Amino acid sequence: MLFSIFAARMRVISLTEETRLTGSYAATIGFFDGVHLGHRYVLQQLCRLARERGLPSMAITFDRHPRQVVDTSWHPLLLTTLDEKIELLRQTDIDLLVVLPFDEQMACLSARDFMRLVLKERLGVSMLLTGYDNRFGHRTADSHEGFDDYVKYGREIGIDVFCGEGLQALRQQDDRTTRQQDSKTIGRQDNKTIGRQDNKTIGRQDNKTIREQMYISSSLIRRLLGEGRVDEAALFLGRPYSLNGTVVHGFQKGRTMGFPTANMSADECRLVPADGVYAVKVSLPPSTFPGITNIGMRPTFDGHQRTIETHILDFEGDLYGRDISIGFVARLRDEQHFESPEELAQQMARDAETAKQVLLDADL
């Protein structure tokens, strides 16, 4: 067993050579990076179908991004580490989480062999709900296996395969308003409807012309974060995007200006939002504080290294070596070059006041 901490409901196991689960499970499979609202929507579909069939629910994920194995030159920028992903999945109604060690041997399995050798024979999967864009199994330039192939393989192997619906978002012209539009059907098998959902809303709905429609996905959220649009990313995640890390020694410039900062060392695989100044909430268990975070090169001091520096409002104390979590609520401005440290300090004072108001309005 790779993981030793279990929630009251969800169990977590890591697949080993000895793993042979007894019983029968309703399962879905995915990388679940960020465990965003689209993922949670599919997991809700799975739990409902599992209850209808009297089966326990199972989510299957990987210990690393599959692309890291098939393309060793690729370096991920992820929304969550594996441990963070597990903790977020504990907040769902899933009964069992299985973590697959993704290696070259698993990467070489065809979709049919993966379904037979892993899902059926080792994990006891009898019902599989795939995501609307989910693909698995070894792929070549000539292979185009998809949902219909999975249904065919499932019939041969003894797995009922359903296709879950993705969660759609409608973006408005003002680039700040988003709405969730659920599909009427939550899944299909052989063109049969297996359930219906009422339309729901994320955020507010204005009477403006819809500009773009898309499915909520990890790649969409990564793009938004890369553009600094952390408030929009939060709508799709269902929470502010956060970075967890350890406070390390910095350059001490903020302290000399009256704005001491906590310099974070984040996991190198984590995606860091675009350079700029952000209103954030800082988790220092058991308390949470408002703060402002600067991401960038520190141009006023001719910096040559990208840093993540957070000034925590209404806090005094030594944080070196402590683990903190920074939740990004809103982007305040671009990172700027100032003519003097005094001019920068004046701007930081204005940033602090703006951040307080933003966080108060956001009820954080």
Instruction: Kindly report, residue by residue over 274-316, the tens digit of the pLDDT.
Output: 999 999 999 998 899 999 999 998 776 767 788 999 999 988 8
Mean pLDDT in residue range 203-226: 69
Instruction: Kindly report, residue by residue over 242-260, the tens digit of the pLDDT.
Output: 999 999 887 666 666 768 8
Instruction: Kindly report, residue by residue over 71-117, the tens digit of the pLDDT.
Output: 888 888 999 999 999 999 999 999 999 999 998 888 889 999 999 99
- Distance between CA atoms of 16 and 259, rounded to whole angstroms? 50
The per-residue pLDDT for 237 is 97
Give the model's confidence band at 66: pLDDT under 50 very low, under 70 low, under 90 confident, else very high: confident
In the chain, alpha helices (H)? 37-53, 66-70, 82-89, 104-107, 111-113, 147-157, 218-226, 230-237, 253-256, 341-361
- Distance between CA atoms of 137 and 108, rounded to whole angstroms? 7
The per-residue pLDDT for 359 is 95
3-state DSSP assignment of residue 16: coil
The per-residue pLDDT for 9 is 82
Residue 358 or residue 202, greater confidence: 358
pTM greater than 0.85: no
Give the model's confidence band at 181: pLDDT under 50 very low, under 70 low, under 90 confident, else very high: very low
* Residue 322, phi-psi category: left (phi > 0), alpha (psi -120 to 50), beta (remainder): beta
16 pLDDT higher than 70: yes
Which token pair is 180? 């969730």
3-state DSSP assignment of residue 249: coil
Give the model's confidence band at 143: pLDDT under 50 very low, under 70 low, under 90 confident, else very high: low
